[in-house]
Structure 1
Amino acid sequence: MATIEQHNNSDRINIAIDGPAGAGKSTVARRVASLLGYVYIDTGAMYRAVTLAAQRSGIGTSREDLLAELVSNLDITLKPGDPVQRVFLNGEDVTGLIRSREITAGVSAVAAVEPVRTSLVDKQRKLALAKGVVMDGRDIGSHVLPDAELKVFLTASVEERAKRRYKESGAEQGYTLEQLEREIAERDRMDEQRLVSPLVKAKDAVLLDSTNDTIDEVVQRILELSRGRIAEANSQ
């Protein structure tokens, strides 16, 4: 089960923001949602919550049957927060725990397990039924919300993404910049090569390279695109 506060808004659109680790998806998506008055859904946090539950239960990725049972019984709740969205796992606030080094190292493998992905995708689609959602992840435009009115593929160079992660939390977690570059490159490889819903740019997605752009510049570009899509939706 996954829940988030939302209301039915027939004149609104859904916005899908995909991209590799460290591209700034969550920060950008959260700001865009806030400025539009939309609901922000961090799908990566949902997979991290499942990874935390799996690690606590001692369930490895080879036991797909046990992971399927585990995820079907989890209550993952997303609540607005400042500066990040709060994530609750069976009523426990795990916002900080799911950003640990151990969870980051294990989340790609858990996210690649088909029953885990199938269950969470179903929850994510239900959350978006009412429209007015900004959802970020790695397969939102290509798989989770293929009919989203606006799809954005946000990327940046590996070096720039590593610098951002290092500045954000890498140093305090004991990472070196070189370690982050290697781990981000490996995360890219795993996400792009997984058999279930790999990281790909949807054919109709707008490509935005944020290597040399500020967060504000990226947010403004997406707002411009969204206003155009909203106008198109309202004219139909």
Structure 2
Amino acid sequence: MQTAPAQSRLIIAVDGPAAAGKGTLARGLAEALDLPYLDTGLLYRAVARRMLDAGHDPQSDAEAAARALPASDLERADLRTPEVDRAASQVAGQPGVRAALLDFQRRFGHARGAVLDGRDIGTVVFPDATVKFFLTASLARRAERRWLQQGGQAGDALSRTRRELAARDAADAARAAAPLRPAADAIAIDTDRLDAPAVLAEALRIVRQRLPQT
């Protein structure tokens, strides 16, 4: 496995399962600390979207699509659908796809520091990150959040969302390439009973403790 080169810029890794609050925290940290922000999950969603648009099975080899991915695809408005959720998990399990996107993530972070959220930032992309967070929350709480993000439709949509998240969790944890797991030195934050401002306040307190005093 490739290792990240040494870096001296401020890199903050925010990992965790889907709908644990990674994006909300990472965006808040980036704004508070004046750092660039990258939602690395969008990279895999964008690759999945390209595979689906081309009529390809997302489980088939997607490395070429990942290497040809233009940055503009990250701005697409159709990357957060249930169909793309499932396909993103399938392409993310492919070692060739992960290798193709690894350099993009590292270049982004090394340019002037960054906050990156994903599932393997602290373990693979930036194992020497200045601070690593791993967000957790119960499946029920995460399903409710994702359901509300998708419009809170009536019927069995909430139970279906819960099943889809459980399947995604299982796939992320079982994949051979960079399985979802906290880095040994990651700081865990359970977001079940904390609202977004409280999570951000706690994370900022921890980050500022780690920064050199000037």
Whether these two folds match at TM > 0.5 is yes
Runs of 4+ in 1 over 3 A off after TM superposition: 172-175
Distance of 1:99 and 1:162 partners within structure 2? 14
Which residue of 119, 136, 153 maps to 1:155?
A: 136
- Where does residue 37 of structure 2 map in the other structure? 40
Change (3 A) 1:214 1:206: same
Which residue of 135, 142, 149 maps to 1:168?
A: 149
The 8 Å contact of residues 61 and 113 in structure 1, kept in 2 or not, is answered as: no
Which residue of 123, 130, 134 maps to 2:111?
A: 130
1:21 matched to 2:2? The reply is: no
The 8 Å contact of residues 166 and 175 in structure 1, kept in 2 or not, is answered as: no
- Where does residue 212 of structure 1 map in the other structure? 193
The 8 Å contact of residues 49 and 84 in structure 2, kept in 1 or not, is answered as: yes
Q: One-letter code of the match for 1:128?
A: G
Deviation at 1:152, TM superposition (A): 0.3
1:142 matched to 2:123? The reply is: yes
Deviation at 1:111, TM superposition (A): 0.7
Judging by fraction of residues, say which structure has more strand.
Answer: 1
Q: One-letter code of the match for 1:165?
A: R
Q: Deviations over 1:116-169 (max 9, x none)?
A: 111111210111113420000000001110010100000100001111111221
- Where does residue 102 of structure 1 map in the other structure? 83
The 8 Å contact of residues 142 and 201 in structure 1, kept in 2 or not, is answered as: yes
- Where does residue 57 of structure 2 map in the other structure? 60
Q: One-letter code of the match for 2:48?
A: T
Distance of 2:124 and 2:18 partners within structure 1? 18
Structure 1 segments unaligned to the other structure (5+ residues): 1-9, 77-87
Distance of 1:170 and 1:112 partners within structure 2? 28
- Report the aligned-residue RMSD: 2.0
Distance of 1:75 and 1:173 partners within structure 2? 36
The 8 Å contact of residues 17 and 25 in structure 1, kept in 2 or not, is answered as: yes
- Where does residue 64 of structure 2 map in the other structure? 69
Residue 110 of structure 2: SS of its match in structure 1? coil
Residue 15 of structure 1: SS of its match in structure 2? strand
Deviation at 1:187, TM superposition (A): 0.7
Deviation at 1:46, TM superposition (A): 0.9
Residue 17 of structure 1: SS of its match in structure 2? strand
Deviation at 1:207, TM superposition (A): 0.7
Change (3 A) 1:70 1:226: same
Percent identity for Structure 1 against Structure 2: 38
Structure 2 segments unaligned to the other structure (5+ residues): 1-6
Distance of 1:15 and 1:32 partners within structure 2? 9
